[in-house]
Amino acid sequence: MENWLYCGDNIEVLEKEIEKESVDLIYIDPPFFSNRHYEVIWKDEAEIRSFEDRWEGGIENYIAWMRPRIEAMYKVLKPTGSFYLHCDWHANAHLRIMMDEIFGRNNFRNEIIWWYLWGGRAKKQWSRKHDYILFYSKSDKWTFNYLEVLEGHHLISESAKSRVKYKGALVHHREGQNSEIPKDKVLPSDTWYIPVINAMAKERLGYPTQKPEFLLERIIKASSNKGDVVLDAFCGCGTAMAVAHRLKRKWLGIDISPTAVKLVEKRLRKSGAVKDEHYKTTGLPTTEKDLRKLKPFEFQNWVMDEMGATVSRRKSGDMGIDGHLSKTLWHERAGIQVKQSDKIGRNVVDNFETALRRDNYKQGYIIAFSFGKGANEEVARLKNKGELEIKLIPVQELLDKKKTLLK
Ligand SMILES: C[S@@+](CC[C@H](N)C(=O)[O-])C[C@H]1O[C@@H](n2cnc3c(N)ncnc32)[C@H](O)[C@@H]1O
């Protein structure tokens, strides 16, 4: 089997594309029940990365949405497979009961506590400093490479308290006289201290809720072998894929967001270890119809990506500049406005002209599905005046890549 990246709703992909009982390890980190909406401006590339994490109608709706998805994942898991479900206090109890029902209580293996120091502190209750990772096997046979994930100083040296715990574990270990385990290591436990990705971390991509590679490394090393298939059906910016590839596992990644999937592609290629021929991507928008269905920020990200442009830091949708192209040898610095609509009129061009002048641009592009006569006339008038040039780009043109925009 090849490595695949799928852009789409995981339930459809799992049912249509992935063979039953073909996957050795599943890790998922689904959006939580937390009424948050992330829209994050990237530090480095100033692009908007976003995903929704919002559930209307309460926890029952959330579980009703999750259940058929987990059932579809259960079907693609091999009888010897393992499943890790990453969650936090919002839905932990409800997901645990649902997982017991699907996998059987006997197949519950662990509730791993991933704890960290990051984030604010509360004065009225205990500050929340951990996530849960529910670990299930599909049957009474599963892989657990404990020698690959022995615990040493890197996991437990961060706080004085855990050092004490570590000493206790070592004493116990010596009593056991287990020679395959080095003296300075202990068998792994279900509480993991791993720092969250900090603002300066090399692996940081800026994707909200990006998980540390070290966390995935422990899961993949313990619960799969080289050549096994690892699936992440809510893959976000692809942490599981990047680690699986590095550890010589095969992998399948699914995400509903084209922004996320494009980002995974970039991440994999950037590492140098993953080349285009190592994987295939499917499900990204390829037609006008697909693009019309995208959420506005997804559409905007798609356009900017196609144009090699950068999303503006300023809040989008303010009638201003949604993104820009920097000046290069081949083209001037230019402002970009994106409209996910048809028959763009004269007023849009007028407003864009004002925004361009305000920010000292001499060139601009408006991207939309189609343009009205008024818009074209206004653009021609501006061109004749010679001060400012605005080009109207139909989306189809980007799709066809017929014109080189940067000429
Ligand atoms: C919490 S994030 C995962 C972050 C990931 N673990 C990482 O390290 O980057 C959840 C992801 O689930 C995706 N998602 C939400 N609904 C989905 C669905 N129905 N099918 C596939 N992906 C979905 C979102 O687009 C988002 O990227």
Distance 211 CA to ligand 1 centre (A): 12
CA terminus-to-terminus distance, the chain: 42
Domain that holds residue 93: 3-150+188-282
Residues 109 and 132 both lie in one domain: yes
Structure tokens that stand for 243 in this block: 């680690």
Q: For residue 238, tell me if it sits in a domain.
A: yes
How far apart CA 155 and CA 186 sit, in angstroms, is: 11
For ligand 1, atom 18, which residue shows the shortest CA distance?
9
Q: Is 90 exceeded by the pLDDT of residue 53?
A: no
| Mean pLDDT lowest among 49-63, 120-134, 197-211, 360-374 | 49-63
Percent over 70 (pLDDT), the chain: 84
Domain final residue pick, 253, 282, 311: 282
pLDDT band at residue 403 under the 50/70/90 scheme: very low
Six token digits for residue 337: 């406005």
Q: Show which of 282, 301, 317 is a domain's final residue.
A: 282
Please report, for the domain that includes residue 350, its CATH number: 3.40.1350.10
Atom 5 in ligand 1: residue holding the nearest Cα: 236
Question: In this structure, are 233 and 199 located in the same domain?
Answer: yes
Q: Check: CB of residue 145 under 8 Å from CB of residue 225.
A: yes
Q: What is the pLDDT of residues 215-264, one digit of tens each?
A: 999 999 999 999 999 999 999 999 999 999 999 999 999 999 999 999 99
C-alpha 177 to ligand 1 mean position (Å): 44
- Check whether residue 278 and residue 318 sit in a common domain: no
Instruction: Write the DSSP symbol of residue 277.
Output: G
Q: Has residue 8 got a pLDDT over 90?
A: yes
Check whether 145 has a pLDDT greater than 70: yes
Minimum-distance ligand 1 atom for the alpha carbon of 236: 27
Domain annotation covers residue 100: yes
* Per-residue pLDDT at 378 exceeds 50: yes
Range from 91-95, 181-185, 257-261, 338-342 carrying the lowest mean pLDDT:
181-185
Check whether 61 has a pLDDT greater than 90.
no
**Atom in ligand 1 nearest the alpha carbon of residue 254:** 21
Do 268 and 332 lie in a common domain?
no
Do 278 and 392 belong to one domain? no
Same domain, 298 and 326: yes
pLDDT tier, 406 (very low <50, low <70, confident <90, very high otherwise): very low
**Residues 211 and 71 placed together within one structural domain of the fold:** yes
pTM exceeds 0.75, yes or no: yes
Domain shared by 273 and 337, yes or no:
no
**For residues 135 and 82, is the Cβ–Cβ distance under 8 A?**
yes
* pLDDT greater than 70 at residue 385: yes
158 in any annotated domain: no
Q: What is the pLDDT of residues 301-325, one digit of tens each?
A: 899 988 888 887 665 445 678 899 9
Taking alpha carbons only, the member of 20, 138, 146, 22 closest to residue 80 is 138
As for how many domains the chain has, the answer is 2
Tell me which residue has tokens 């279900």: 190
Residue 164 lies in a domain: no
Domain end: 259, 282, 305, which one? 282
Contact, 374 vs 316, CB < 8 A? Answer: no
Residues 12 and 53 in one domain: yes
Please choose, from the candidates 336, 338, 315, 339, the residue with its C-alpha nearest in 3D space to the C-alpha of residue 326. 336
Write down the pLDDT at residue 42.
Answer: 53
Least confident of 15-19, 96-100, 196-200, 402-406: 402-406
Task: Confirm whether 166 is domain-assigned.
Answer: no
Q: Which atom of ligand 1 lies at the shortest distance from residue 32's CA?
A: 1
Tell whether 143 and 254 lie within a shared domain: yes
Nearest CA to 135 out of 63, 89, 187, 189 is that of: 189
- CATH number of residue 27's parent domain: 3.40.50.150
Question: Which of the four pLDDT bands, split at 50, 70 and 90, describes residue 174?
Answer: very low
